[in-house]
A and B are shown apart, each in its own frame.
Chain A
Amino acid sequence: MTTTPVMQADNIVKELGAGAGLVVAVKGVSLELVPGELTLLMGPSGSGKTTLLSILGCIMKPTSGSIRIADTKIDGLSAEELAKVRRDHLGFIFQSYNLFPTLNAIENVRIALDVRGVKGFAATSRSEEVLREVGLGHRLTNYPRNLSGGEQQRVAVARAIASSPSIVLADEPTAALDSENGHAVMALLSRIAKEQHRSVLAVTHDPRTLGYADRVVRIEDGRIVGEERRPEGIDSPEITDLTKRRKLHA
């Protein structure tokens, strides 16, 4: 496995609000993501994990600190330039799936390609391919209302990987799913990381997801308070005895 990071975040600080209402949501977080690894960002509600995900996803700008994605330093980029970084390097999976209710499964995937300029037959065939990859080859023309929660999340996964991004960011991907579907989606994300050699970062507080992680980063009160990594050579998804490498920040 290559260890060259596809994303490097250095000393990220994010302040929200102003004056008496000022809240420092992220306090000097540094993080690297490497290909082929499923990283979980875990922490309690209000710990700043979703804010950090937004910043790493180039959706929110940090107050200070720097981020490099592939070879692109994203500090100071405009909103449109950040959108281009998202198009070129990132795929997103959301807690509530965020599918377009008026589009069927294949169209929901196609639109992610369409915004990237991939159109026509190439877009259709790629959309079909990724939907088959996530096990929805038989549901191509179904609308979200006719899909189960697990199937909808798999469409969202297909949408996220359709453009072959180097990084996939997932926000609570199992939160709205039952146990069986939760495990299926996590297995899928793990497979995407391993087989497609992508870096997957999932924000979660769902303990069921732990077994699929190569690495767990714990965040509390806007700071990374620990990092645990799966020992080399252990592939079982049920592993819970992660090597702990606690790195408490002052």
Chain B
Amino acid sequence: MVFTLALRNLLHDRVRLAVTLIGILFSIVLVAVQLGLYLGSSRMITANIARSNADLIVTTFGAKSFEDGGLLLGDRERHQALATPGVESVVPLVVAFAEWRKPEGGSSRVVLIGSDADDQGLLPWGLIQGSVEDIKAPDAIAVDSTYLSELGVNGIGDTAQAAGGRVKIRALTEGIRSFTQSPYAYTTLNRARQLLGADDDKSTFLLVKLAPGANITEVQKDLGHRLDSADVLTKDEFESRSLKQWLFRTGAGLALIGGAILGSLVGTVIVAQTLYSSTKDHIHEFATLRALGSSRGYIYKVILAQAGLSAIMGYVLGMAIALLILYLSRNSSLPLVMTPGLAFWLFALTLFMCAISALSAIVKVTKIDPATVFAR
């Protein structure tokens, strides 16, 4: 009967139910979009680090993100790293912003990534045209299809100028987005060095693979002592550092999280207001229940059931709209991400939001004087 009464109370006033559901829906969509963007941004920021074939990453001292290394590491550091017990291989990786001159005029910026396919350090993924082998060809470069128009090219075979040299598009990827909005352009290690005018031994990062059985903490510590002008980070540490740089030092992440919190607050206030108003309208019924001998707990259950039912209905509607937005954003340069975990936490948040919203109504019924049943 608790759910029957709760559902009937909700359906009794359709307009108020609509307002409640719109409040929850608005909140869910806002939070889903904000957190979806946050998650999408996080994935973009860490994608290359996550894909790199390394147990430890050597960066120049204080490098704040994947795009912020400079070309300061050389053979000395590479040999020192190779000489460290427990290290199996050390693969250099070049990453740097570069100017991209469009064939039809104008320029833009790309993040040039140089890595040799044979080293298996960091290779482009999600190839939809061309292959890793194609990137080995002279002047070859791979870019993501999302950014073709931004780069002023149409596809495979088009040429442009990156940094100091001519490049030809030999492969296209799908799904490699850039948080900085400067597309990633993949080429070979030496070609990247040439384009950037760097010495033959220079690199931005050293991707370290450990020998089987080596203790990662000990090797990291050992490498840290040997490479005093570099940082030695695990992938997780470097991902965290990059996220911190792009999401928090720039304020972008705070804005997204702030938007999500604001969405939750607005939703909570709307649901609280409508639940309170519904409780007030049904206060005589609750007083009657109390006079009939119901415990306070029973009445709380009715109110919480109302809140729970509102949450479920609002969540379903909100998620449907959020998923539609997610679908529409799939080909944009900043696609939203929805994971089962995020969907679960959004549901938990909706329930929590509605439970918190029920507090004002519960406070109201706590003060019910069942004697009012005789005053009607």
**A87 with B5: CB separation less than 8 A:** no
Choice from B9, B288, B289 contacting A94 with Cβ under 8 Å: B288
Measured as residues with beta carbon below 8 angstroms from the partner, the interface class of chain B is 20 to 34
Among the stretches A40-48, A97-105, A205-213, the one at the interface with B is: A97-105
Beta-carbon nearest neighbor of B289 in chain A: A115
Q: A101's closest neighbor in chain B, by CB?
A: B12
B143 to chain A, nearest CB (A): 62
B2 at the interface (CB under 8 A from A): yes
Tell whether, in the assembled complex, residue A98 and residue B371 are in contact, meaning their CB atoms are under 8 Å apart: no
Which of B96-104, B162-170, B244-252, B292-300 touches A?
Answer: B292-300
A residues in contact with B4, CB < 8 Å: 103, 107
Residue from the set B4, B11, B290, B291 with the largest chain A CB neighbour count within 10 Å: B291
Q: How far is the CB of B329 from chain A (nearest CB, A)?
A: 42
Interfacial chain B residues near A95, Cβ < 8 Å:
374, 376
A2, B4: Cα distance in complex, Å: 41
- B12 A98 Cβ-Cβ under 8 A: no
The reply to whether the CB of A195 lies closer than 8 angstroms to some CB of chain B is no
Q: B292's closest neighbor in chain A, by CB?
A: A112
**Candidates A60, A88, A98, A123; contact of B376 at CB < 8 Å:** A98
Closest to A114 in B: B1
Q: B123-140 vs A: 1/0 string, CB under 8 Å?
A: 000000000000000000
A130 within 8 A of B: no
- Given the complex of chains A and B, what is the CA–CA distance between A83 and B298 in angstroms? 11
Identify which of residues 75-119 in chain A touch chain B, using a CB-to-CB cut-off of 8 Å.
Answer: 79-80, 83-88, 90, 92, 94-96, 98, 100-103, 107, 110-112, 114-116, 119
Contact residues in A for B292 (Cβ distance below 8 Å): 86-87, 92, 111-112, 115, 159
The smallest beta-carbon distance between B86 and chain A, in angstroms, is: 66
Residues from chain B with Cβ under 8 Å of A59 in the complex? 291, 370-371, 373-374
Q: Are A83 and B294 in contact (CB under 8 A)?
A: yes
> Of B1, B285, B296, B298, which contacts A107 at CB under 8 A?
B1
B259-315 residues with Cβ-Cβ distance < 8 A to A are 284-285, 288-296, 298
B residues near A111, Cβ cutoff 8 Å: 1, 5, 289, 292
Q: Which chain B positions have C-beta within 8 A of A171? A: 374
A31 close to B (CB within 8 Å) = no
- In the bound complex, how far is the Cα of B4 from the Cα of A101, in angstroms? 13
Measured CB to CB, the closest approach of chain B to A106, in angstroms, equals 11
A182 at the interface (CB under 8 A from B): no
A190 near B: Cβ within 8 Å?
Answer: no
| A90 vs B370: C-alpha distance when bound (angstroms) | 14
Determine if A50 is an interface residue (Cβ-Cβ < 8 Å): yes
Q: Is B8 an interface residue (CB 8 A)?
A: yes
Give CA–CA (A54, B291) in the complex, Å. 10
Bound complex: CA of A147 vs CA of B363, how far in Å?
34
In the bound complex, residues from chain B placing their C-beta under 8 Å from that of A90 are 293
A80 touches B295 (CB 8 A): yes
Known A94-B374, A111-B5, A114-B1: A100·B295 in contact at CB below 8 Å: no
Q: Report whether A53 and B12 are in contact in the complex, using a CB–CB cutoff of 8 Å.
A: no
Beta-carbon contact of A110 and B295 below 8 Å: no
Shortest B186–chain A CB gap in Å is 64
Of A83, A85, A112, A116, the contact of B290 (CB 8 Å cutoff) = A83
A-B contact pairs, 28 of them (CB 8 A): A50-B374, A53-B374, A54-B374, A57-B291, A59-B371, A59-B373, A60-B371, A86-B291, A87-B294, A90-B293, A92-B292, A94-B373, A94-B376, A95-B374, A98-B284, A98-B291, A98-B373, A102-B9, A102-B12, A103-B4, A110-B1, A111-B289, A112-B292, A114-B1, A114-B2, A115-B289, A123-B1, A159-B292
B residues neighboring A (CB under 8 Å): 1-2, 4-5, 8-9, 11-12, 284-285, 288-296, 298, 370-371, 373-374, 376
Q: What 6 A-B pairs have minimum CB-CB distances, sorted nearest first?
A: A87-B293, A102-B8, A86-B293, A115-B294, A114-B1, A98-B288
Besides A103-B4, A103-B8, A159-B292, 7 other A-B contacts (C-beta < 8 A): A59-B373, A80-B295, A86-B292, A90-B293, A102-B11, A102-B12, A114-B2
